[in-house]
Structure 1
Amino acid sequence: MSGGPDSMALLLLAHGALPGHIAAASVDHGLRAEASGEVALVERTCRERGIPFTALAVRVGPGNLQARAREARYAALGRWVADRRLGALATAHHADDQAETLLMRLSRGSGLSGLAGVRAAALLPDGETPLIRPLLGWRKSELEAIVARAGIRPARDPSNADPVFDRVRVREHLSQHDWLSVESLATSAQHLAEAWRAIEWYAELDREEMVHADDDGAFVYYANVPRIVAIETIRHIVAEMGGAVSRSEAGRAFDRLWRGENASLGGVLIVPGFEAIERAGVEMRAWRFATEPPRTSH
């Protein structure tokens, strides 16, 4: 809970829907002097309603400020959820956030996974803590009205109006062009998310049916699916072998392999070839994954 109108609306709605069954936490990133007052606002609101509250303080590492702050926040919240044995972490992302995210990622040339936008349900980066976003169907103006009716004056983060951030510029653009419908953009993101879930389902089948492990820890992948599916399978195999690669890296490896060239990816050497598959009665691409041998120096 940041103390802003979105998170305060989530707090009020959750308390109304599940009284006695929620807890709240507020994170101070140590980046703004006003943050302690915002944490106090959330604490006071929770105390008035009998909601268990925890204040969390984190340190933000160097690099992209917003990205590092998000990483630190989710890490702290994940530990808090585990310590309190809560069922899930809920955040206050809404339809306006979804529309802004879609436009930002379109401008960056994101793939389908990125264009799927903010997911209604996911896992925290720890891979274990459920993350839910129950407000994706709500407009920001609706959430602000809920907070106003409750007589709460929410906190306002000045960074949300700083044009140095891409999201702020996109938000301003949306406000200036009424032909860009937030609801329609958010709906498109939902459709893209459904398409991505279909890709994930197909990729899981591809792994189960077309990836085989050798006794020596190597893998052979019979690649006979569209590029977008093969990329997910390639990433999964490399992860199984202890590596980690992005989708763009896996895509470049796919292109090399499709041309019949070796590819090196995350410490894994992939050698393309063809093998006859008796059960299918055809010859198929067979890409062999093995730990990359150490390089010699002279």
Structure 2
Amino acid sequence: MTLDPAAVERFRRDLRAALRSEVDGAILALAVSGGPDSMAMLALAHAAFPDRIVAATVDHGLRAAAAQEAAMVAEHCGLLHVSHATLRPAAPIGGGSIQARAREARYALLLTWALEERAVALLTAHHVEDQAETFLMRAARGSGVAGLAGIRPRRDLTGSDGGKLALVRPLLTWRRAELRAIAEASGPFADDPSNRDPAFDRSRFRQLLADSPELEAGQIAATATYAAEAQQALDDVTALLWKNRADVSEGCVAIELGDLNRELRRRLARRAIGHLLARPFDADNIEPLLDAFEAGKGATRAGAMMSVRGNFATFRLAPPRRSH
């Protein structure tokens, strides 16, 4: 099947914009599950960048049909003369939050594979409706600006051996229906029944969007884009404040926080703790620490000890707990 040249050019343009660079001559790694969205991405990438794509399918071992779907993708890639790999976790995925665990395993496998293929980017097929679902899920959980920014067009991944790769979502402005139409015209695909299973949060929010005409996915996705722009602006302000206000010495960070609003205090405190821990820090709830600062009291949180003097907060690593 010959794709609409306008669609192919749109994909080429969107990928370059998301990757923020030219891709001439580079290898592109595609995560292809076998669903209509990723099969449409495969068709578009094959038309836009012939002889420069490789594809992989992850079989998490959670559904009996997954092996057949991976085989279907492999067969179709063979017809397109696209190199394909089926990736499987070394150990079964289990426990609570199984979708989150599966996602972690999936990206770890895909990152290792893509680096081995010497690809410049790993592409996934997230689209407008995925973005809208993510925004609603995070809003329902009380997320801040960073969470409401949703799925980013690009973020950098780092492998266990230090290798780096761009994770790119070139379809974030494409609608599910137009991708399905491309998939239907291009070859086989499979519908994953777990996408309709109400046991999973995303499935419930997907149904909410389908049942609520007033919740227009495109408008919600646009709001996520605005939140991402606001997040970038806050990141820039935080970097400037850190440069001008943070006094960094060995094992200690002192920052003037008193005249800043709570969000900027939150960001600078997280950066200070991350500096002391020598790793990015964003998971722990530091609201009690901010409450203590506003009360003029010291506090300990996430392995860091804060003391307060006037408008200044000084952060040090907390001493190890004594064992008895």
Q: State the TM-score, normalizing by the size of structure 2.
A: 0.83
Alpha-carbon distance in structure 2 between the residues aligned to 1:55 and 1:297: 48
Match of 1:219 among 228, 253, 273: 253
2:146 counterpart residue number: 113
Question: Aligned-pair distance for 1:2?
Answer: 0.7
Alpha-carbon distance in structure 2 between the residues aligned to 1:231 and 1:20: 47
Alpha-carbon distance in structure 2 between the residues aligned to 1:74 and 1:247: 19
Alpha-carbon distance in structure 2 between the residues aligned to 1:208 and 1:238: 16
Q: Any conservation in 2 of the 1:74–1:125 contact (CA below 8 Å)?
A: no
Name the structure, 1 or 2, with higher relative contact order (CA <8 Å, separation 6+). Answer: 2
Question: Aligned-pair distance for 1:8?
Answer: 0.5
1:41 counterpart residue number: 72
- State the AA in 2 paired with 1:27: V
1:82 counterpart residue number: 115
Query: Identity over the aligned pairs, expressed in percent?
Result: 40
Show structure 2 runs of 5+ residues with no match: 1-31
After superposing the two structures, state which structure 1 stretch, 3-12 or 254-263, moved more: 254-263
- 1:130 counterpart SS class: strand
Encode CA deviations 1:206-251: one digit per residue, 9 max, x unaligned.
222211222x421111224322222222112212212775466223
1:146 counterpart residue number: 182
Match of 1:93 among 116, 126, 135: 126
1:277 counterpart residue number: none
- 2:99 counterpart SS class: helix
Q: 1:104 to 1:201 in 2, by over 3 A?
A: same
2:308 counterpart residue number: 272
Alpha-carbon distance in structure 1 between the residues aligned to 2:135 and 2:54: 31
Q: Any conservation in 1 of the 2:284–2:302 contact (CA below 8 Å)?
A: no
Alpha-carbon distance in structure 2 between the residues aligned to 1:181 and 1:147: 23
1:289 counterpart residue number: 315
Q: Any conservation in 1 of the 2:296–2:308 contact (CA below 8 Å)?
A: yes
Q: Any conservation in 1 of the 2:271–2:281 contact (CA below 8 Å)?
A: no
Q: State the TM-score, normalizing by the size of structure 1.
A: 0.90
Q: Does 1:228 align with 2:259?
A: no
Q: What's the RMSD between the two structures over aligned residues?
A: 1.8
Match of 1:163 among 191, 198, 210: 198
Q: Does 1:200 align with 2:226?
A: no
2:3 counterpart residue number: none
Write the mapping of 1:236-255 to structure 2, written as runs, cut at 5 A: 236-242=271-277, 245-246=281-282, 249-255=285-291
- 1:164 counterpart SS class: coil
- 1:124 counterpart SS class: strand
Show structure 1 runs of 5+ residues with no match: 275-284
Alpha-carbon distance in structure 1 between the residues aligned to 2:126 and 2:137: 15
